[in-house]
Amino acid sequence: MDRIIKRNIRIKVIANPFAGGGQSHREIPGFQKRLEKDFEQLDFSLTNGPGDATRLAKEATANGFQRVIALGGDGTVNEVANGLAGSGAILGVIPTGRCNNFFRMLSLDATRENACRIIAEGEVIQMDTGLIDDFIFVNNAGAGIDALLTEYCHAGKSSLLSVAGMTRAFRAVMNYNHPPITLSIDNLTIKDQFSLISIGIGRYSGNGIKLIPHAVVGDGLFDLCVIKKKGKMELLNDLIHARNGKHINNKDVVLYRGRQLSIASSKPLPFQVDGSSYEMPAKSLTIRINPKSLKVLRDRKYKLSG
């Protein structure tokens, strides 16, 4: 019976050969061979540049593919999700990027065999997404040092606790100017100088940093981590502790939850969405939660909700 079901499922794989610093293309043939064991109606497409994955995902849903698989990193997942918006198609992920923070919400096992097994046998869950105008994010957005850390993450895959990772964190802290920011979370408004604002559906950002350790996918709420301006060494200490989510006990680290938030700054503000730089369209932006708006395949053995 299981084999008959797989025979009737149409799978579209959208593969980014440039993910993982250009190493992803070497893994694509192996993933294709493995998926062919489970699915007879399997189609692969390669991306050539920014926006391709969104276009290919839209074409896939228009052509009746029930499952659309993002093979790449967090940026590829984001593009595919934007292409699936409103379609009802199910998103699957095969992680070949540098950080793969979205996949950390789906499984603790990122091996080829397990990733392909999830595509064939995974549990379908409904996740929240975030909306900036009509643009979707599926894991994390952030301003200030959060955005700088993400930018530096693309320079290498080092852990924040490694020498290289510490160097990048130090650069982020030293290079950030603190413009006055007005942050509104539902009916709460805060005006201050913030070092970091992290907005999460999932728990992980950067290279597996748990800035928002209590985030729950599908609860209809954003989780936020806000760190006010402080001494550079104190801030660096917060980032080190964030690797394991222990920064939340430190002074001036505050967690919030909400359904809508806006960020306004009189000066340009570094901002990232799902691990990619995002240019704020004006001096302010508004982000809304879109509850249970994305169907995703997750490891049945993985019961953590973040």
pLDDT in tens, 97-151: 988 999 999 999 999 999 999 999 999 999 999 999 889 999 999 998 888 877 7
Domain annotation for the chain: domains and CATH numbers: 2-121 (3.40.50.10330), 137-291 (2.60.200.40)
90 strand-pairing partners: 67, 295
Residue 210, pLDDT above cutoff 80? yes
pLDDT in tens, 58-111: 999 999 999 999 999 999 999 999 999 889 999 999 999 988 999 999 999 999
Quick one: pLDDT at residue 113? 93
- The rounded distance, in Å, linking the Cα atoms of 43 and 229 is 50
Quick one: pLDDT at residue 244? 85
pLDDT in tens, 251-297: 889 999 999 999 999 888 889 999 888 877 678 899 999 999 999 99
Token code pair at residue 137 = 């994010």
